[in-house]
Amino acid sequence: MKWIVAVLGLFVLSDAPAVSDDRPNILWLTSEDNSVDWVGCYGNPNAETPHIDRLAAEGFQYLHCYANAPVCAPSRSTWITGVYALSTGTHPMRSRYLIPHATIKYYPDLLKQAGYFVGNVTKTDYNIGGRPDGDAWDTRKTDWNELSRRQPFFMVINSTKSHESSAFGDINHTTHSPDKVQLALYHPDIPDIRRNYAHYHDQVKKMDADIGQALAELEQSGLSENTIVIYNSDHGGVMPRSKRFLYDSGTHCPLIVRIPEKFKHLRPAEPGAKLDRLVSFIDLTKTWLSLCGAETPAYLQGKVFLGPRAEVRDYHVSFRGRMDERSDNSRAIRDRRFLYIRNYMPYVPWGQHLNYLWTMKATQAWERYDKEGQTDATTGQFFRTKPMEELFDSAADPDNVNNLAGKPEYAHELARLSAALDTWQREYFDAGLLPETEVLQRSEASQKTIYEIVRDPALYDLKGYQRAAALAMQQDPANLPTFYKNLDHADSGIRYWSVLGCFHLQHRAALDFVQIRRRLNDASHHVRAMAAWILYRGGDKPAAQQCWNDLLKNSSYASLEVFNIIDWIGDGHAPYAAAMQACHYDQGDCIVGMKAYFGINGPANDRKKNNARSQ
């Protein structure tokens, strides 16, 4: 009988959580949408964030931490996997594309394998299909008694109080004074913008109270001496031209880490230190796993920035793809001083109307002010189209308003960062070098995930697309013969960049419209849409309109692009209204959002617009 009792005892022990006194608990406190500009310890005298400021005094404040995506779902997709969302194809906002779940674990899976109890309170939003967001977590509530019993634990608590939606609504009754707020240089000094700043300061103060409550509960539980505390936001924001954009205002995030005395061997400096180390959000996942003694699989793309296994980071990369119903495609790479941005769609204005963003009073007021002709070169730039490249000295120009890309004295920095970005794209498999739904077509046809196809040169010629895109962006008429030749290339991606090369040259050289017109029947719907735009600008509006209407009526996979093109042209949507109404291509709520923008009532099977969804 003794051996039976012993065996039963082993089974009981095997079901018990692993408890290890030499491993820390981790409490990860996150907030939504606030850049460093809204936190007192990062230098804003009008910010009221006493709890975060105190945490910084007790811990370590990182001065150069940046989000890989300036919006929540792609940012959190990067966190949960430790793989860039741009590398998995989950970078378009609200897409939910599949990843190979058998290959890529969520980091809580790896923590559980290491004996950690893992919890997440309220926020997931991983933008990944094929697995419920909450599936990886042991608990979705904060129970300090349970956490005390289940050490070591990894607990995420997210505050929603600073979310973009909190900046909506009434801005006329604020506790912060609109007269005292510090406006970014790109914002005009008008009352509604000042009031919206003050209103958001109020909301950030509420968020800080949430952080304070969590810290107080940790202290009351008696667990603080065993617990590393981390605070950061999920990306920047939240006034217009911050969230969703690759400037410092959209990516520069607070990051504070407090390490108790018990684990002082992990401290990078004395408490209260401000650290100049460059940290990228992709690094967070691998670092937390490393601190917990969990497995760090080879597919992880970050670098450990804290502890005995710390690695050096030279550059940080951010990316911008589709933002809800609006198409765009940009990359950014930076070191601690210089920020380089490459705009693959320079014909798209920064400030194209986004239904959700335009809910904010500040955005509405800014647009009105610009339409009245009252903005200047700095405050009106947001509503114009973009240059191919941007370069900013963030140390001297934190608002990123002085583009240095055309200045000879900065040519070396531009070339250095551009080359580093090219290398990064190849090393980490940039899945956004073709239009989103063009890549999706290939994924569906091959029955492989986007993660898999971008790693297969037969399905996604990444290096070829890099070369073709670079050639198109040169805007050199000498490249026209190459573009014409490649309009017949077997790869639709090469054809796409070739037609874009012609598009960029339309006002610099005479185009062969016979060559362009042939592309109206291209197998790629995105090639058709851009060829039609060239013809539209060249005077053949009927051919272009027929092409776009045919694509919309047949619910083409390029439908969203066509909706956007029609808006970018700015000649009205009347010739396309019937085709817009007939279009029911399913790309989340994007088509519905564009129909709402144009005032089009969609067919009965279209999903209702959900303009209040969490972003």
Of 197, 298, 227, give the one whose Cα is nearest residue 58: 227
At 10 the pLDDT is 36
At 601 the pLDDT is 80
Strand partners, 61: 256, 274
At 13 the pLDDT is 35
Phi, psi values for residue 65, rounded to 5°: -110, 135
* Rounded CA separation 593/161 (Å): 26
Q: Which three-class secondary structure state does DSSP give residue 407?
A: coil
Phi, psi values for residue 524, rounded to 5°: -90, 125
At 472 the pLDDT is 98
**pTM of the predicted model, to two decimals?**
0.94
What's the helix, strand, coil split of the chain in %, to 5?
45, 15, 45
At 202 the pLDDT is 98
At 14 the pLDDT is 33
List domains and CATH numbers for the chain: 13-307 (3.40.720.10), 532-615 (no CATH)
At 103 the pLDDT is 96
Strand partners, 97: 128
Cβ pair 501, 493 in contact under 8 A: no
* Rounded CA separation 516/120 (Å): 53
At 602 the pLDDT is 57
Label each residue of 92-137 as H, E or C: CCCCCEECCCCCCCCHHHHHHHCCCEEEEECCCCCCEECCCHHHHC
Of 152, 151, 155, give the one whose Cα is nearest residue 123: 155
Label each residue of 186-211 as H, E or C: CCCCCHHHHHHHHHHHHHHHHHHHHH
At 196 the pLDDT is 98
Q: Left (φ > 0), alpha (ψ -120 to 50) or beta: where does 125 sit?
A: left
Segments in the chain below pLDDT 70? 1-21, 602-615
Task: Kindly state the DSSP code that residue 609 receives in the 8-state scheme.
Answer: P
Residue with tokens 């911050």: 242
